[in-house]
C-alpha cells in the first residue's frame, strides 16, 4: 500500500498515520521525507488518535469546480491532542463563524475526494 492509501485507510478508522524520526523521535506528518529536527531520512510509522481541537479554519462558500455539492463547508486546521502536530481537513455544514468556535473538540471521521474529513467530537 502506498503512503497515501495508508493515510486514507487510517482516516476511515479515525486514525492519523505519522512519521516518527528513528534517530531523534521527532514526530512528523506522513508527508515528511526527512526529519525537520535532525535531517534523518529514517522514519517509523506511528498511528495516532485523530482527535484534537479546531485551531483555525476558512469557510468555503465558493467551491472549486466539482465540489459545489459540498458547500458550505470549512477547511479546518486541527491541532491534535497529545502531540505537536496540526492537520488540515474538511468539515461539513459550516456556514458562519458562529457554527464553529475555535477550540471546538473535533476528530477525523473519514476521507473523500477533498481529503481528510473532520467532525465535531
Ligand atoms: Zn530526527
Q: What separation in Å is there between the alpha carbon of 28 and the centre of ligand 1?
A: 9
Q: What separation in Å is there between the alpha carbon of 67 and the centre of ligand 1?
A: 38
Is the overall model pTM greater than 0.75, yes or no?
Answer: yes
pLDDT at 78: 98
Which CATH number belongs to the domain containing residue 92 in this structure? 2.40.50.840
pLDDT tens-digit map of 65-115: 999 999 999 999 999 999 999 999 999 999 999 999 999 999 999 999 999
Q: What separation in Å is there between the alpha carbon of 33 and the centre of ligand 1?
A: 11
Beta bridge partners of 53: 79, 105
Q: What is the chain's mean pLDDT, rounded? A: 95
Pairing state between β 51-60 and 15-21 = unpaired
* Measured CA distances, 97 to 34, 67, 68, 75 (Å): 37, 21, 20, 12
Q: What separation in Å is there between the alpha carbon of 82 and the centre of ligand 1?
A: 19
Give the chain's domain count: 1
Could you tell me the residue range of the domain that residue 91 belongs to? 3-120
Q: What separation in Å is there between the alpha carbon of 40 and the centre of ligand 1?
A: 5
Amino acid at each position: 500500500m502506498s503512503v497515501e492509501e495508508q493515510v486514507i485507510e487510517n482516516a476511515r478508522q479515525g486514525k492519523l498515520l505519522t512519521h516518527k524520526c528513528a534517530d531523534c523521535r521527532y514526530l512528523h506528518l506522513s508527508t515528511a521525507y526527512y526529519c525537520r529536527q535532525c535531517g534523518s531520512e529514517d522514519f517509523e510509522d506511528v498511528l495516532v488518535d485523530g482527535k484534537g481541537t479546531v485551531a483555525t479554519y476558512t469557510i468555503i462558500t465558493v467551491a472549486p469546480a466539482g465540489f459545489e455539492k459540498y458547500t458550505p463547508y470549512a477547511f479546518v486546521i486541527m491541532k491534535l491532542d497529545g502531540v505537536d502536530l496540526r492537520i488540515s481537513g474538511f468539515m461539513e455544514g459550516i456556514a458562519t463563524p458562529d457554527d464553529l468556535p475555535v477550540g471546538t473538540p473535533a476528530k477525523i471521521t473519514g476521507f473523500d475526494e477533498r481529503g481528510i474529513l473532520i467532525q465535531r467530537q
